[in-house]
Amino acid sequence: DAGITQSPRYKITETGRQVTLMCHQTWSHSYMFWYRQDLGHGLRLIYYSAAADITDKGEVPDGYVVSRSKTENFPLTLESATRSQTSVYFCASSHQIYEQYFGPGTRLTVT
Amino acid sequence: QQQVKQSPQSLIVQKGGIPIINCAYENTAFDYFPWYQQFPGKGPALLIAIRPDVSEKKEGRFTISFNKSAKQFSLHIMDSQPGDSATYFCAASSSGTYKYIFGTGTRLKVLA
């Protein structure tokens, strides 16, 4: 039972490059979320999705793009990475509105 | 009004002690309050959650106390163990939004 997985787990990229972080869940959960975690800020919602082809902005969406063509996948793309996007990114999913389950995270460094 | 304020930022207790982590909110529309536990290098894991129709909920050594009038809720860890050393996050959500607002986290260290 894989649950929710993220890839890559670690990524170093240069400023200006496009980067895609992958998230895959095996539970067929309707809801999926992307958060970033930074010291002193806790977890902040970037984008979320209620179902395939339905996405919406969270608290800090600028510089990020998401898509959800299949229920199980929710990739997050940084179109032109900036140093301020250096962070740990977590994907989460939820069957109902509540009880979100988190993936192991992707540590992204933008140089 | 969307913030959830969490304190303290860090906490050190002796084994067997009862660490208490507090959270406060402003938005009265919040109706679900989960706590997450996160170990280094791992994703947050749901620990326990409460809704405002009850004042207390226990699961094992973990207890949430909820004060609706004060708009505050707290996590108590009974008989704390070194294995409880982790970062704890409170959060709040309201019906129909499925968006969590997280607190900034409390780093707990339980000394052996």
- The pLDDT of residue A19 is above 70: yes
Q: Is the peptide bond before B40 cis (omega within 30 degrees of 0)?
A: no
pLDDT-derived band at A109 (thresholds 50, 70, 90) equals very high
User: Among partner residues B32, B95, B105, which is closest to A42 by beta-carbon distance?
Assistant: B105
Q: Walk along chain B (112 residues) and give the pLDDT tens digit of each residue.
A: 578 999 999 999 999 999 999 999 999 999 999 999 999 999 999 999 999 889 999 999 999 999 999 999 999 999 999 999 999 999 999 877 778 999 999 999 999 9
Q: A92 by DSSP, 3-state: which?
A: strand
Interface size A-B, in CB pairs within 8 Å, comes to 53
The predicted pLDDT at position A41 comes to 84
- The pLDDT of residue A1 is above 60: no
Nearest residue of chain B to residue A107 (CA atoms): B41
Q: Cα–Cα distance between B73 and B68 in angstroms, integer?
A: 8
Q: B1: which chain A residues are within 8 Å (Cβ-Cβ)?
A: none
Whether residue A98 and residue B49 make contact (CB cut-off 8 A), yes or no, is yes
- The pLDDT of residue A97 is above 80: no
Average pLDDT for A34-62: 92
User: Among partner residues A48, A99, A101, which is closest to B99 by beta-carbon distance?
Assistant: A48
Q: Cα–Cα distance between B88 and B10 in angstroms, integer?
A: 10
- The pLDDT of residue A96 is above 80: no
Q: Cα–Cα distance between B44 and B83 in angstroms, integer?
A: 15
Task: Measure the CA angle with vertex B92, ends B90 and B95; round to 5°.
Answer: 155
User: Among partner residues B32, B95, B98, which is closest to A31 by beta-carbon distance?
Assistant: B98
The predicted pLDDT at position A98 comes to 74
Candidates B1, B9, B46, partner chain A, best to mutate (most A CBs within 10 A): B46
CA distance A44 to chain B (A): 7
Q: Cα–Cα distance between B42 and B54 in angstroms, integer?
A: 31
Query: Could you give the C-alpha distances from A104 to A80, A94, B90, in angstroms and in order?
Result: 24, 15, 19
Average pLDDT for A38-55: 91
Q: Cα–Cα distance between A36 and A89 in angstroms, integer?
A: 4
CA distance B55 to chain A (A): 19
What is the per-residue pLDDT across A66-88, written as a single tens digit (0 to 9) for each? Answer: 999 999 999 999 999 999 999 99
Tokens 């000394």 correspond to: B111
Q: Cα–Cα distance between B24 and B71 in angstroms, integer?
A: 6
pLDDT-derived band at A38 (thresholds 50, 70, 90) equals very high
